[in-house]
Amino acid sequence: MPRAGTRGTPPRSWGSTAARSTESSSATGRRDTCPILPTQQTTNEGPMPQHLVTSPMPREACDALLAATRFGRLAFTFRDRVDIRPIGFVWSEGWIFGRTAESGKLQVLRHHRWVAFQVDRIQDQWNWESVLVHGAFHILGPSSGQESQETDLAGRARSALKASMPGIFTESDPARHRDLVFGIELQEVSGVRARLSNAPERALPSDTE
C-alpha cells in the first residue's frame, strides 16, 4: 500500500489543511473560491441561461466615465520593462490632468512620453465598463522648459484640479509636496462594457475577453 505522501495517496496534511481552510471560511464568512455564477432567471419552461456580452463603448460614454472617475492606472515602458502606477486625476476636454513630484518615474516619462491609461467602473464580474487611453505624457508649467502653450495648459490643469479637489495646492493640502502638474493628451480612446443577457447575442471582438 502506498505510504502517505507517495503517488496515489495525498499527504495527510492536505486533508487537515483543507478542513482548516473550510472551517476558517465558514467561521469568517469569507469565500476562498471563485465568485458564484449569476442566478439564472426561470420561465415556465425552466431555467433561462444567461450570456456574457461585451460591446464597444461610444466615445461619449468613454468621456463620461473619465469625467466621473478620479483614480486610474498609468502604464509606461522603459527598455524591456513595463510599469503600472495608480494615479489620481481629473478629465478635461481631451486631456487628463494630475500632479506628481520629482521621482525616478518622472525621469523615465520625460524621455518615454507615450503612455497608456485605464479606468474602470465595476458593478460585479459580469457587469462593468473599462476605458483605455493612449497618448503623450507632458510635464506642464514653466519648469518643464516647454513653450508657452504648455504653460497655458498648466493653468488650465491647476484650475481643473482645484475645482475637483478644493484645498489642493494650499498649506493644508496633505500632498502639497506634489507640486508638478502633468497632462496626458488623449490621442486614442476606446472602451468596452460587459453585461449579462438572456439572449445569445453575438458580441463584437474585444481585447478584454
Question: pLDDT tens digit string along 161-195?
Answer: 888 877 777 777 777 767 788 999 999 999 999 99
Q: How many CB atoms lie within 10 A of CB 197?
A: 11
pTM reported for the whole predicted model? 0.66
Listed by start position, the domains of the chain span: 1-31, 52-197
pLDDT of residue 13: 42
d(CA 162, CA 16): 56
Phi/psi of residue 203, each to 5°? -85, 150
d(CA 72, CA 69): 8
List the single range of 60-64, 67-71, 154-158 with lowest mean pLDDT.
Answer: 154-158
d(CA 56, CA 145): 39
- Of the candidate CATH numbers 2.30.110.10, 1.10.390.10, 3.30.1220.10, 3.30.465.10, the domain formed by 52-197 belongs to 2.30.110.10
